[in-house]
Amino acid sequence: MSIDTNLKAIYDKINTVALSCGREPDEVQLVAVSKRFPVTAIEEAYAAGHTVFGENYIQEAEEKAAQLGGKCTLHFIGHLQRNKAKIAARIFDVIETIDSFKLANTLNRHLEDLGRSMKILLQVNIGEDEKKSGMAAQQTEQLLREIGQLPHLEVIGLMTMPPFTDDPEDARPYFRQLKQLADSLAGKGLFANERRVELSMGMSNDYHVAIEEGATIIRVGTAIFGQRK
């Protein structure tokens, strides 16, 4: 199966699932997770009309960004170390994995030096999984209030990775909890410009469940590009 064919199949499924639960398909943005795939794979997806890609590793992403020349929208979806924030501030359009004020403050400072602002999401470890990054749900409100004082960061939503499971239905309660948390925080006016709150949740094996539970961003890699080497 080609990348073009895979993308079409995923967009068809997004349409079907969204409509089946009373949502508009264009409410859901697909981030094609291109980590550990070559730039040629990104170019193939781009030629098929897809423009938004997700990367996990700073050095790999920096090399790809240089080759892509700014024609794609890049989301950082991996664990960001503070000593890599300077590069991240320069090459990414959105960072989905902010989980501490120290990290946010460092990123804000580099963005100020660059004269730019950036949209970010806060990563919530909604399943309290020791193997996952992110903060506890109860810490989210305080961090939102603190980041609200940083002029170069715009918090547009929340992101989560539930505990791994082979059964997509096992992820549903975690997706539902993130949606409930986001709704509660939005009710307090804590997101940037009181805009629609983005919910980044769902990957190749469970994105259909995530859409049913309110995902506005899904992160899909293997279902588009195949198995990683």
Query: Residue 135 gets which letter from DSSP?
Result: B
Q: Collect all residues with Cβ–Cβ distance below 8 Å to 95 and sequence separation of at least 6.
A: 75, 76, 80, 88, 107, 118, 120, 121
Q: Is residue 31 within 8 Å of 7, Cβ to Cβ?
A: no
Q: Is residue 166 within 8 Å of 207, Cβ to Cβ?
A: no
Q: What is the mean pLDDT of residues 104-108?
A: 98
For 222, the token pair is: 């293997």
pLDDT for res 196? 87
**Structural domains of the chain sorted by starting position, each given as residue range(s) with its CATH number in brackets:** 3-225 (3.20.20.10)
pLDDT bucket at 116, cuts 50 / 70 / 90: very high
pLDDT bucket at 130, cuts 50 / 70 / 90: confident
Buried b (16+ CB within 10 A) or exposed e, 194-229: eeebbbbbbbebbbbbbbbbbbbbbbbbebbbeeee
pLDDT bucket at 169, cuts 50 / 70 / 90: very high
pLDDT bucket at 10, cuts 50 / 70 / 90: very high
pLDDT for res 127? 87
